[in-house]
Amino acid sequence: MSQSVSLVSESSLSSVNHVDILDRLANISLVNQYCSPRIQQNIDLLLLAVEALELGASEKMLASIHDLKLTEVISGRVALWRLRCSNPWRRSYTREFLSADQAKVLVIIATLRAKDLEPLIRHLIDSEYQMKEKNLPIENHFMLSEYLERFRIHFRSRMNSRRTKVASYIANESELNELALNLLQKLLFCSGTKGLERIWFSLFDGEI
């Protein structure tokens, strides 16, 4: 891989009122009061896409938690890492389950980063469409290529290749690229009007 470059400049957090921020997301009845492994997987993959979009993403996630005074739910770096590892595809799968509040904070983080990254996300999605319209490989677009390469590196280094679906993605670069591009669409969904609430409800499709 060539010398990695930042896809975005430093940006400030989107303006979000701390008052009752968790209450903006509906309390959905969960089995045993915890999220399913599928929900945990989907949230972690959204955050993985964010990490592929910008350097220093983990630090910005932690800053969001601190600025919004949500450290009672996720206390810091280690706690964030453990919750990310509730994704059953992870090499370091902790076999833990996310509480509703923990899942809410992770979704809030993903939405905040998506809002800050919206211009870049739109540019990448538009570029993908244009490259396909011209029947050109999307890897020929520099910024798309950078995003896809970072995502593949993150996915391969952090996910457990003994999982059947993970092994399938690792063996098929086109499928892995498609996963990364689908996650861009979801992040754009997050960044839109009522994006926080809409992405939250979408996680529970088929669950309730």
- For helices 57-67 and 77-84, the axis angle rounded to 10 degrees is 110
- Would you state the pLDDT for residue 157? 97
pTM listed for this prediction: 0.88
Which DSSP state fits 13?
A: P
In this predicted structure, the answer to whether residue 79 has a pLDDT above a threshold of 80 is: yes
What's the CA dihedral at 162, 164, 165, 167 to 10 degrees? Answer: 50
- Would you state the pLDDT for residue 13? 37
Calculate what percentage of the chain has a pLDDT beyond 90: 74
Task: Give 90's strand partners.
Answer: 159
Residue 7 in contact with residue 143, Cβ under 8 Å? yes
Q: Give the integer Cα–Cα distance in Å for 115 and 89.
A: 27
Terminal-residue alpha carbon distance, the chain: 43
Within 8 A by CB and 6+ apart from 62, the residues are 76, 77, 80
- Would you state the pLDDT for residue 74? 94
Strands (DSSP E) found in the chain = none
Q: What is the pLDDT of residues 129-142, one digit of tens each?
A: 999 999 999 989 99
Q: What is the pLDDT of residues 103-122, one digit of tens each?
A: 999 999 999 999 999 999 99
Q: Give the integer Cα–Cα distance in Å for 53 and 164.
A: 26
Q: Give the integer Cα–Cα distance in Å for 203 and 187.
A: 13
Which DSSP state fits 73?
A: T
**Burial classification of residue 27, based on how many CB atoms lie within 10 Å of its CB (0-12 exposed, 13-18 middle, 19 or more buried):** exposed
Mean pLDDT of 55-64: 93
Residue 150 in contact with residue 159, Cβ under 8 Å? no
Residue 167 CA, distance from chain mean position = 20
Which DSSP state fits 23?
A: G
- Ramachandran sector of residue 159 (left: φ over 0; alpha: ψ -120 to 50; beta: rest): beta
